[in-house]
Structure 1
Amino acid sequence: MSEVRGHATSAGIGLGSAIAVAVSWSLHKSLLWAVVHGLLGWIYVIYYALTRPGGIGG
């Protein structure tokens, strides 16, 4: 299992990036925005959760 984790980490794939890309794609349907938000990773995920109705921020 740690070998798989090492390969994913070395490839630059993180959970925050994957969630950010999925959320961005479902919201915008734009590859450019999905890439930008994927680079931001957890920053975009937290921003999305704080600014959406029913999210963390209300």
Structure 2
Amino acid sequence: MYIEKVKQGTIIGTVLAMIISWDRNKSILLAIIHGALNWLYIIYYYFFLKESK
């Protein structure tokens, strides 16, 4: 259940980053790069910024 919500949230975040990038730059290449960077930030957050319990 929790994993599905995380997956949906990351997909929405990736798509949103790509849409905003396209709207701003009108470049497919930049939209793809921004979508990929969104995933890199999620990985960075998971390993370095999450609160320890």
Q: TM-score, normalised by structure 1?
A: 0.48
Unpaired segments of 5 or more residues in structure 1?
44-58
Runs of 4+ in structure 1 displaced over 6 angstroms? none
Q: Aligned to 1:19, which of 16, 21, 37?
A: 16
Which residue does the alignment assign to 1:35? 32
Q: CA RMSD in A?
A: 2.2
Task: Return the offset for 1:31.
Answer: 0.4
Task: Return the offset for 1:37.
Answer: 0.3
Alpha-carbon distance in 1 for matches of 2:38, 2:12? 8
Q: TM-score, normalised by structure 2?
A: 0.52
